[in-house]
Amino acid sequence: MDINELKKQSDLSYDIAVAKRNALEKAHSRQVVVYREHLFRADPVTICLVRTLKESRDRFCVLDTNSNPVEITDPAEFLSILVERNQESLNTYYQVYRTFTKKDA
Amino acid sequence: MSSGVLLFCFDTEHTRYHKILERCIRLVKKNICREITVVTNFDTYQKMSPMGFINYKFIEPELGNTKLGKEWNNVDRHMAYELSPYDTTLVMDIDYFCFSDNLKQLFDTGYDFLVPDTAHDLTGRNTFDQRRRSMIPMVWATVLLFKKNDKVRKIFDTVKYIKQHYSYFTEMYRIYVKNLRNDYLFAMALQQINGFVGYETFPFALPTLPPDCEVVKITDEGISWKHGDQISYVENQDVHVLNKEIVNV
């Protein structure tokens, strides 16, 4: 490979990596939700935990992002908020990610 | 219960901070949708363009602090508790641009005091990790959320105390930066008042643009910048801009 072409490709890969990292960070920020005056992260761990607990209980306790316990009395509502925010943030990330793959093609 | 955003803005000989404030306020109005109070002096106020309904509180800034050899009037943050007219206050640096409504939901939380403890370097260089040399976890006082109550008043009293004895505390905590920085003040105060254990923080890192990035364009949706021969941009993501030349963009 021509050294100039290599450098160009390397620079492009670096730019894409930085942009991807920023888009992912944006998604992480967007996944933060407030529920019952507490902060939660709408990530796969929280969603799976809430869904699992919801299967066997009407009310349960989970930890917020600062490790404070919070009683969840309406699991369906909470799960719905988490899933909605998770997908909103990841859909936005997906749109940005598609522009990276076009650039790299 | 009242809630609002508190901003500090003082022009200096070198930097027209009121220009940065005008951009900041437009984004706060669009994305945070809360009442705004600006702490400023009359000289700065006279240069501001009309910005709609804004509360102003006039104080004379404490002088003497510098950054890169230039005047830097940033040491009045410890008075935020007294100056805020709100029960719940979001204090922000005016160079923190809210391109998203992420901070808005924090008003709905029950926490007494929230502060970010990490920053995300948008250039991918992890520039801000160097502060680990200090013996305490650092915070970014760029954005603070607090409620008015006895506990929070004591936090601000501790900030004032540490500010009074700043050189002693910076030696004790192995902080080598000699100018006064709110980040360090609040980090030390929070550790002292919280019994040397943890405190509640934002669950996300503050997206930050290091000072060696040249901002080339800024709109109501996002910002693009140049670093070396690389031009990058972000949209709908908050950005803390450290290069004050943004005034000229």
Q: How far is B204 from chain A (nearest CA, A)?
A: 5
Mutant choice from A8, A14, A15, A25 vs B, greatest count of B C-beta within 10 A? A25
Question: How distant is the Cα of A8 from the closest Cα of chain B, in angstroms?
Answer: 12
Tell me which of A66, A82, A103 to substitute to probe the interface with B (most B C-beta atoms closer than 10 Å). Answer: A66
Model confidence at B68: pLDDT above 70: no
Nearest-CA distance A29 → chain B (Å): 5
Query: Does B134 lie at the interface with A, CB-CB under 8 angstroms?
Result: no
The pLDDT > 90 percentage for chain A reads 74
Whether the predicted pLDDT of B93 surpasses 70: yes
pLDDT tens digits, one per residue of B212-244: 999 999 999 999 999 888 889 999 999 999 987
Chain centroid to Cα B196, Å, comes to: 24
Chain A to chain B, count of Cβ pairs less than 8 Å apart? 63
Determine, for residues A11 and B105 on separate chains, whether the beta-carbon distance falls below 8 Å.
no
CA distance A31 to B36: 26
Q: A58 CA to chain B: closest CA distance, Å?
A: 24
**B169: nearest Cα among B159, A4, A88:** B159
pLDDT band with cut points at 50, 70 and 90 for residue B74: confident
CA nearest neighbour of B158 among B132, B196, B119, B203? B196
Cα radius of gyration (chain B):
17
Tell me whether residues A34 and B109 touch, CB distance under 8 A.
yes
Four-residue CA torsion sign, B18, B20, B25, B28:
negative
Q: Write out residues 55-74 of A within 8 Å (CB-CB) of B.
A: 65-66, 68
CA distances from B141 to A11, A76, B48 (A): 34, 36, 25
**What b-and-e string marks burial along B83-105, b requiring 16 or more CB atoms within 10 Å of the CB?**
bbebebbbbbbbbbbbbbebbbe
Q: Tell me the one-letter amino acid at B128.
A: F
A28 near B CB under 8 A:
yes
Torsion sign (Cα): A81, B106, B149, B1: negative
The number of beta carbons lying within 10 Å of the beta carbon of residue B74 is: 17
Burial class (CB in 10 A: 0-12, 13-18, 19+), A6: exposed
End-to-end Cα, chain A, rounded Å? 17
| Whether B124 and A66 lie within 8 Å, measured CB to CB | no
* A25 vs B contacts (CB less than 8 Å): 120, 204-205, 207, 237
Angle between helices A44-56 and A75-104 (to 10 degrees): 150
pLDDT for the residue numbered A105: 63
Does B201 contact A at CB distance below 8 Å?
yes
Say if A99 is an interface residue toward chain B (CB within 8 Å): no
- Shortest CA gap A68–chain B (Å): 10
Positive or negative: CA dihedral A37, A43, A46, A52: positive
Q: Is A34 helix (H, G, I), strand (E, B) or coil?
A: strand
How many helices and strands, by DSSP H and E, does chain A display? 3, 4
The label of the residue with tokens 């009293």 reads B157
At how many degrees (to 10) do helices B182-193 and B150-164 cross? 120
Per-residue tokens: B158 = 């501790």
- Residue B60's CB is within 10 A of a number of other CB atoms, namely 11
Taking only the tens place, the pLDDT of each residue in B109-147 is 999 999 999 999 999 888 877 656 677 888 999 999 999
Q: What is the predicted pLDDT for the residue at A104?
A: 66
Contact check, Cβ <8 Å, B207/A41 = no
Beta-bridge partners for B144: B91
Residue B89 pLDDT exceeds 60: yes
